[in-house]
Amino acid sequence: MEWKPHITVATVVEDNGRFLMVEELKGERAVLNQPAGHLDPNESLIDAAIRETLEETGYDVELTGVIGIYLYTAPSNGVTYQRVCFAGKALQHHPDYALDTGIIGPLWLTRDELLEQRHRWRSELSLQCIDDYLDGKLFDLTLIRPSV
């Protein structure tokens, strides 16, 4: 069996102490996550984060920095994910945008409200990314280099 990590992106979008989250179905269960998803072929990490945020929330965003790069092995299936997490700001909401299959919709939650719903987290990375953002861990977007 060949081991292959999955490359994903996520976006932390904060507005007045509330964070843009996604309520989505995982199996039969509604879970919470940041706007996040897989990198597509021939796509930059930055483009992937902007695309995934729009597809899962209906929000156009401007990325403002890189929060961190995380490795996470999902206990449910043993798959390892490499997540590049970006900070961004919401520019415009498209309420009639057709969201991805399985997405219930966007939610704006405070950190405390998110903590109250720990049983609904898709992964522990959600809070880790928010906490790193709140701790000021933000790197310039030039950290992400184009492919050669």
pLDDT of residue 83: 96
pLDDT of residue 31: 96
Average pLDDT over residues 60-68: 98
Kindly tell me if the per-residue pLDDT of 146 is higher than 90. no
Kindly tell me if the per-residue pLDDT of 85 is higher than 90. yes
Average pLDDT over residues 59-83: 92
pLDDT of residue 148: 63
Report d(CA 37, CA 6) in Å as an integer: 10
Nearest to 133 by CA among 12, 4, 9, 6: 12
Kindly tell me if the per-residue pLDDT of 140 is higher than 90. yes
Convert the pLDDT of each residue in 7-21 to its tens digit: 999 999 999 999 999
4 vs 103, higher pLDDT: 103
Instruction: Tell me which residue range forms the domain holding 42.
Output: 6-143
CATH number of the domain that 58 lies in? 3.90.79.10
119 inside domain: yes
82 inside domain: yes
33 inside domain: yes
148 inside domain: no
Residues 93 and 59 sit within 8 Å (Cβ to Cβ): yes
70 inside domain: yes
Kindly tell me if the per-residue pLDDT of 144 is higher than 70. yes
The count of structural domains within the chain is 1
The CA-CA-CA angle for residues 146, 147, 148, to 5°, reads 115
The strand ranges marked E within 1-133 are 6-15, 18-26, 29-33, 36-38, 59-73, 80-93, 103-109
Kindly tell me if the per-residue pLDDT of 2 is higher than 80. no
The chain-wide mean pLDDT, for the chain, equals: 94
56 inside domain: yes
1 inside domain: no
Average pLDDT over residues 86-105: 96
